[in-house]
A and B are shown apart, each in its own frame.
Chain A
Amino acid sequence: MPDSVLSVRDLRVGFATRHGTLVAVDGVSFDIAPGEVLGVVGESGAGKSLTGAAVIGLIEAPGRITSGEVWLAGRRIDTLGAEAMRKVRGRRIGMVFQDPLTSLNPLYRIGDQIVETIRAHANVSEDTARERAIALLQEAGIQGARARIDSYPHEFSGGMRQRVVLALALCAEPDLLIADEPTTALDVSIQAQIIALLKRLCRERGTAVMLITHDMGVIAETADRVAVMYAGRIVEIGPVREVLRNPRHPYTKGLMGAIPTIAARTGRLVQIPGAMPRLAAIPTGCAFHPRCSQAFDRCYSERPERMPAGAAEAACWLFAEPTRVHA
Chain B
Amino acid sequence: MLAFTIRRLFEALVVMLTVALLAFVLFRYVGDPVSQMVGQDTSLEDRTRLRLELGLDDPVYIQFARFVGNAVRFDFGISYQVKQPVTRLIAERMPATIELALAAALFAVALGIPMGVYTGIHRDSWLSKLFLTVSLIGISLPTFLIGILLIYIFAVWLNVLPSFGRGDTIPIGFWRTGLLTASGLKALVLPAITLGLFQMTLVTRLVRSEMLEVLRTDYIKFARARGLPERAINFGHALRNTLVPVITVIGLQLGSIIAFAIITETVFQWPGMGLMFIQAVQHADIPVMAAYLLLVAFLFVLINFIVDLIYVRIDPRIRILRRGA
Contact = CB atoms under 8 A, between A and B. Distances in A.
A172 B219 contact: no
Interface stretch (B146-154, B204-212, B226-234, B265-273): B226-234
B176 to A, nearest CB: 41
A152 interface: yes
B222 A97 contact: yes
B217 interface: yes
B317 A117 contact: no
Nearest to B314: A107
Interface string A82-121: 1000111111001101110011111110000000110011
B219 A90 contact: no
Given A97-B218, A103-B222, A165-B222, A120 B228 contact: yes
A168 interface: yes
A107 B315 contact: yes
A132 interface: no
B225 A152 contact: no
B245 to A, nearest CB: 13
Contacts of B88: none
A155 B317 CA distance: 9
B229 A107 contact: no
Nearest to B214: A105
B226 A105 contact: no
B237 interface: yes
Contacts of A169: 225-226
Nearest to A154: B317
A121 B227 contact: yes
B221 A97 contact: yes
A105 B218 CA distance: 9
B227 A105 contact: no
A104 B227 contact: no
A198 to B, nearest CB: 16
A120 B229 contact: yes
Given A103-B218, A105-B219, A105-B237, A120 B225 contact: no
Please indicate which of the listed interface residues B219, B223, B227, B237 has the most CB atoms of chain A within 10 Å of its own CB. B227
Interface in B138-157: none
B118 to A, nearest CB: 18
B228 A117 contact: yes
Contact of B225 (A82, A95, A105): A95
A68 B228 CA distance: 26
Contacts of A121: 227
Nearest to A103: B222
A135 interface: no
Given A105-B237, A105-B241, A89 B224 contact: yes
B28 interface: no
Contacts of B320: 154-155
Interface in A63-90: 82, 86-90
A105 B223 contact: yes
Contacts of B221: 58, 97, 103
B240 interface: yes
- State the 7 A-B residue pairs at the shortest beta-carbon distance, nearest first: A90-B227, A89-B227, A95-B225, A102-B218, A90-B226, A103-B222, A105-B219
Interface of A: 56, 58, 82, 86-91, 94-95, 97-99, 102-108, 116-117, 120-121, 152, 154-155, 165, 168-169, 172
22 contacts: A56-B225, A58-B221, A58-B225, A86-B228, A86-B230, A89-B227, A90-B226, A94-B226, A104-B222, A105-B237, A105-B241, A106-B315, A107-B314, A116-B228, A116-B236, A152-B316, A154-B316, A165-B222, A168-B222, A168-B226, A169-B225, A172-B227
Given A102-B217, A117-B227, A154-B317, 6 more contacts: A86-B227, A95-B225, A102-B219, A152-B316, A152-B317, A165-B222
